[in-house]
């Protein structure tokens, strides 16, 4: 555990993977949010808080791919996982993981003989 980490330290500003955590003191909720969003790497975050309303407010304001409240690193294959900004593009898990692999296209088919004039005229009922 790295204690008293400042936002200008390398360990705060870089995405480091390993079996450790860093702790940065903050003054109040606004300062905590400023610090939480003060890095280009924001894959995830944890908020240990007994005040669930505040925890949800903070989770909403933190710009990260996932925020755990009173827990850490619990993954559900049905829930999307992925970071924001320099922590990655796209999502793993969940239906969102398919989004980058497909392009959606709409195809409209007229089932009547009347040609479209592009103006608002009375047309047969559409089936869409």
Task: Tell me the per-residue pLDDT of 96-117, one tens digit each, with 9 for 90 and over.
Answer: 666 666 767 677 777 777 776 6
Residue 126 lies in a domain: no
| Confidence at 91, pLDDT banded by 50, 70, 90 | low
pLDDT of residue 34: 92
Q: Is the pLDDT of residue 54 over 80?
A: yes
Give the whole-angstrom CA distance, residue 43 versus residue 87. Answer: 5
Identify whether 124 is part of a domain: no
Residue 122 forms part of a structural domain? no
- 125 vs 14: which has the higher pLDDT: 14
pLDDT at position 94 is: 65
Distance CA 125, CA 111 (A): 10
Give the model's pLDDT for residue 93: 64
Is 123 part of any domain?
Answer: no
| Helix extents (H) in 23-93 | 29-36, 52-61
Q: Model's pTM, two decimal places?
A: 0.58
Nearest alpha-carbon partner for 56 in 78, 29, 38, 37 = 29
Q: Please count the structural domains in the chain.
A: 1
Q: Predicted confidence band at 76 (pLDDT cuts at 50, 70, 90)?
A: confident
Give the whole-angstrom CA distance, residue 119 versus residue 128.
19
Residue 120 has pLDDT above 60, yes or no: no
- Neighbouring-strand partners of residue 45: 67
Over range 19-42, report the average pLDDT: 86
| Residue 28 belongs to domain with CATH number | 3.40.309.10
Q: What is the percent of the chain where pLDDT is above 70?
A: 67
Q: Which of 47, 50, 53 is nearest to 68 (CA)?
A: 47
Structural domain that includes position 95: 10-101
| pLDDT score of 123 | 62
């Amino acid at each position: 555990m790295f204690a008293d980490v400042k936002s200008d330290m390398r360990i705060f500003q870089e995405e480091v993977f390993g079996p450790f955590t860093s702790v940065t003191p903050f003054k109040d909720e606004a300062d905590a949010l400023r610090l939480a969003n003060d890095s280009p790497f924001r894959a995830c975050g944890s908020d240990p808080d007994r005040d669930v309303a505040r925890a949800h407010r903070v989770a909403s304001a933190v710009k990260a791919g996932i925020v755990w409240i009173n827990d850490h690193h619990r993954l559900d294959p049905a829930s999307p996982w992925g970071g924001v900004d320099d922590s990655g593009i796209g999502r793993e898990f969940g239906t969102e993981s398919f989004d980058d692999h497909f392009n959606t296209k709409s195809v409209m088919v007229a089932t009547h003989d009347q040609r479209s004039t592009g103006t608002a005229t009375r047309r047969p009922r559409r089936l869409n």
